Structure 1
Amino acid sequence: MSEADSEATHPPGLDLDRLAGHLARERPGLVQGPLSAEVVQGGRSNLTYRVTDGTSRWVVRRPPLGHVLATAHDMGREHRVISALRDTPVPVPGTVLLCEDPEVIGAPFYVMEHVDGTPYRTAEELAPLGPERTRQVVLALPDTLVALHAVDPEGVGLGDFGRPEGFLERQLRRWNKQLEASRSRDLAGIDELRAALGEKLPASPRPTVVHGDFRLDNVLVDGRDRVTAVLDWEMSTLGDPLTDLGLLAMYSEGLDVPGSPISTTSHAPGHPDGAELIERYARLSGRDVSRIHWYTAFAYFKLAVILEGIHYRFTLGQTVGAGFDRIGDLVPVFIDNGLTTLRKG
């Protein structure tokens, strides 16, 4: 058996025989033959597999191997929000089942329908579409955010999905705690950025369901340049919708960060800039975006903290792979951009 065949029948972290048995019990007749699988690249941290019986295809999501904090990889939470949004204008995969018993495959997991589409992760992947198609693909992102933020949480059973009161304060505290956990060197400007964000904290609009990591490579796009599914809901909650928009704007501002694990497509010909995406969202949603510079600056701060954490783990020898030796040099770029953006507001 080749290595590829072995990985298809014994993918890491997914026992296909036990999965097939569970599906046979819970969804009789769903599976028509032996299962094979492949690991799907992408996503923040949860493992994603494309599974097939030779006729039908599904996607399985489970926490990463060796995870410790179950609350950080809550399969029930992801399954709940996707199921709730299924009958709304927000494009999401249909859900098949949730299994919270870790004895089945070694961790909780859920199964959803496979959706055709491409997750564009780099400018190079977008380039073959040409400038006009690239523009249309990216403009679909604020449109999708408008649809998500228009969903009534109570109406879809998500009224208790988060704690929107004090949302921005908690977000700042959370990412400050993350920063302190990986602080091992002087970072010029990071304390100034954090303090300024706290001092200029905006008043949040009415809370909505927020995705938490909304960007181009977390959606699938079909051959007609339509968004067919929004993926990777592990950061979703009820909170300030402009945090989603600020993050999207940050990813669209033409950052020159070669070697970064933070993907960006902003250099693709025809890619709209953050200002155009913000204007489109404001026009379609009717929301006041006059404080959007704060939200974009906060996105820069959050990404600076994430990158510093990766750098810290690299210095401890806990991260291996190409490019990680350059991560530390990227952190000041995000800090400087955060400070510059905040001063605009």
Structure 2
Amino acid sequence: MSNHDIDTKRLGDYLQDYIPGLGDDLQAEKFAGGQSNPTFKLTSGDQHFVLRRKPKGELLKSAHAVDREFRVISALAGTDVPVPHAYVLCEDDAVIGSMFYVMEYKEGRILWDPTLPEIETPQERASIYDSMNATLAALHNVNVEAVGLSDYGRPGNYFERQVSRWSKQYRASEIDTIPDMETLMKYLVNNMPPDDGSVSLVHGDYRLDNMMFAHDKPEVIALLDWELSTLGNPIADLANQCMAWMLPSEGSMRGLSDVDRVALGIPSNEEYIAKYCERTGRTEIQNWNFYLIFSLFRLAAIVQGIRKRAQIGTASSAEADARGDLVYPLAAMGVSLIP
């Protein structure tokens, strides 16, 4: 077990006021993987918690917003969206060197591969995807005013703001000129669909491995990693998930493009979208191709950020350099979808 430069004595002293019964034997173990906010399992006796912190060092503006994660998890307590209990947000860098929050540790399964090779039957795979669909619908059906999140995002066209944001983030982490990224930024600005007025809480990175499933049944018990959450158009989450499934089944970003989904019990994108629309009261989704292209561009911009952090030495995973190279095929896939 490694404390990864966390002063557990100082941290334990700080947490005494927020976690009843916490012992003086606190230990911290970093979870493997993850590129953005380093995440640790905290242990004290038979008690377990999770700590998420900002990385140390030079950071891109508005990235690593653990304070926003804490706020949204706290607000969703008691809704139909499964989230861990949030204990405390610490904005004092003096405690462990950067802002962090502590939340409940959930016992469950993280499923990394969308083909679900560890699941034995097509029926259970179908149920896992249905639970994932139901959780997404529950998120988008949350009354943001009722849970105190009406100011969680800015008003105005969500996709205009998102294209502007991720273009700026990409420029801030740009290492070399990538023609396909230039093409995507131009296309997205020039083909922006009209704002349809849809506003909901948007997760921002809704995918299989950002949720935890129960050990004994195909049910989502915790939706995790809220760093990119905001108020906006809910179709962004749906497109982000369906976009990820367009990727090949091999590689560091595994998809479903080259597998037999029927045989595996995994719904087609069309079936998944139809079920989502049924649960959220939608009749159709217009401009779907634009949303897919935007999702690929955004993911490429995020990956470019990982690539930049690897270059300057602040990436939290040893895989960051290799994953950063995915910006090229992601941007090319986005360009291939332009009519």
Where do residues 257-296 of structure 1 align in structure 2 (5 Å cutoff)? 258-260=250-252, 262-264=253-255, 267=259, 269-287=264-282, 288-296=284-292
Q: Distance in 1 between matches of 2:254 and 2:332?
A: 19
Report the counterpart of residue 303 of structure 1 in structure 2. Answer: 299
Looking at secondary structure, tell me which structure has more helix per residue: 1
Mean Cα deviation higher: 95-104 or 266-275: 266-275
Report the counterpart of residue 39 of structure 1 in structure 2. Answer: 30
Q: Distance in 1 between matches of 2:172 and 2:59?
A: 17
Q: Distance in 2 between matches of 1:311 and 1:24?
A: 38
Question: Which runs of 5 or more structure 2 residues have no equivalent in the other structure?
Answer: none
Amino acid in structure 1 at the alignment position of 2:330: F
Report the counterpart of residue 77 of structure 1 in structure 2. Answer: 68
User: Residues 183 and 323 from structure 1, CA distance in 2 versus in 1: closer, same or farther, beyond 3 angstroms?
Assistant: closer
Matched, 1:334 2:330: yes
Report the counterpart of residue 215 of structure 1 in structure 2. Answer: 207
Instruction: Give the C-alpha shift of residue 154 in structure 1.
Output: 0.9
Report the counterpart of residue 113 of structure 2 in structure 1. Answer: 122
Q: Distance in 2 between matches of 1:79 and 1:300?
A: 27
Contact 2:306 / 2:320 at 8 angstroms: preserved in 1?
Answer: no
Matched, 1:19 2:8: no
Instruction: Give the C-alpha shift of residue 78 in structure 1.
Output: 1.2
Which of 226, 233, 242 pairs up with 2:226? 233
User: Residues 193 and 51 from structure 1, CA distance in 2 versus in 1: closer, same or farther, beyond 3 angstroms?
Assistant: same
Amino acid in structure 2 at the alignment position of 1:138: Y
Amino acid in structure 2 at the alignment position of 1:105: I
| Partner SS, residue 73 of structure 1 | coil
Instruction: Give the C-alpha shift of residue 168 in structure 1.
Output: 1.1
Amino acid in structure 1 at the alignment position of 2:130: L
| Partner SS, residue 9 of structure 2 | helix
Which structure is higher in RCO with an 8 Å CA cutoff and minimum separation 6?
2
When the two chains are superposed, the root-mean-square deviation of aligned CA atoms in Å is: 2.8
Q: Distance in 2 between matches of 1:326 and 1:75?
A: 23
TM-score normalised per structure 2: 0.86
Instruction: Give the C-alpha shift of residue 234 in structure 1.
Output: 0.8
Contact 1:99 / 1:110 at 8 angstroms: preserved in 2?
Answer: yes
Q: Distance in 2 between matches of 1:237 and 1:112?
A: 20
Q: Distance in 1 between matches of 2:4 and 2:310?
A: 24
Output one character per residue of 1:43-95: Cα deviation in whole Å (capped at 9) or x when no partner: 44111111121222111111113254574223322111100001100000011
Contact 1:127 / 1:134 at 8 angstroms: preserved in 2?
Answer: no
Report the counterpart of residue 137 of structure 1 in structure 2. Answer: 128
Amino acid in structure 2 at the alignment position of 1:229: A
Report the counterpart of residue 173 of structure 1 in structure 2. Answer: 164
| Partner SS, residue 138 of structure 1 | helix
Report the counterpart of residue 185 of structure 2 in structure 1. Answer: 194
| Partner SS, residue 275 of structure 2 | helix
Q: Distance in 2 between matches of 1:108 and 1:339?
A: 38
Mean Cα deviation higher: 313-322 or 52-61: 313-322
| Partner SS, residue 155 of structure 1 | coil
Aligned residues: 330
Report the counterpart of residue 250 of structure 1 in structure 2. Answer: 243
Contact 1:101 / 1:108 at 8 angstroms: preserved in 2?
Answer: yes
Q: Distance in 1 between matches of 2:52 and 2:312?
A: 29
Instruction: Give the C-alpha shift of residue 313 in structure 1.
Output: 6.3
The percent identity for this pair of structures is 37
Instruction: Give the C-alpha shift of residue 336 in structure 1.
Output: 3.5
Q: Distance in 1 between matches of 2:320 and 2:11?
A: 36
Contact 2:55 / 2:314 at 8 angstroms: preserved in 1?
Answer: no
User: Residues 159 and 312 from structure 1, CA distance in 2 versus in 1: closer, same or farther, beyond 3 angstroms?
Assistant: closer
Instruction: Give the C-alpha shift of residue 317 in structure 1.
Output: 8.6
Q: Distance in 2 between matches of 1:150 and 1:191?
A: 35
Q: Distance in 2 between matches of 1:76 and 1:217?
A: 21
Mean Cα deviation higher: 233-242 or 127-136: 127-136
Instruction: Give the C-alpha shift of residue 13 in structure 1.
Output: 3.8
Report the counterpart of residue 198 of structure 2 in structure 1. Answer: 206
Instruction: Give the C-alpha shift of residue 156 in structure 1.
Output: 0.4
Output one character per residue of 1:92-138: Cα deviation in whole Å (capped at 9) or x when no partner: 001112222222222222111111112211257x2020333222212
Mean Cα deviation higher: 98-107 or 54-63: 98-107
Q: Distance in 2 between matches of 1:69 and 1:334?
A: 21
Q: Distance in 2 between matches of 1:75 and 1:263?
A: 26
Q: Distance in 1 between matches of 2:177 and 2:59?
A: 29
| Partner SS, residue 65 of structure 1 | coil
User: Residues 71 and 297 from structure 1, CA distance in 2 versus in 1: closer, same or farther, beyond 3 angstroms?
Assistant: closer
Instruction: Give the C-alpha shift of residue 247 in structure 1.
Output: 0.3
| Partner SS, residue 72 of structure 1 | coil
Contact 2:60 / 2:169 at 8 angstroms: preserved in 1?
Answer: no
Which of 147, 158, 161 pairs up with 2:149? 158
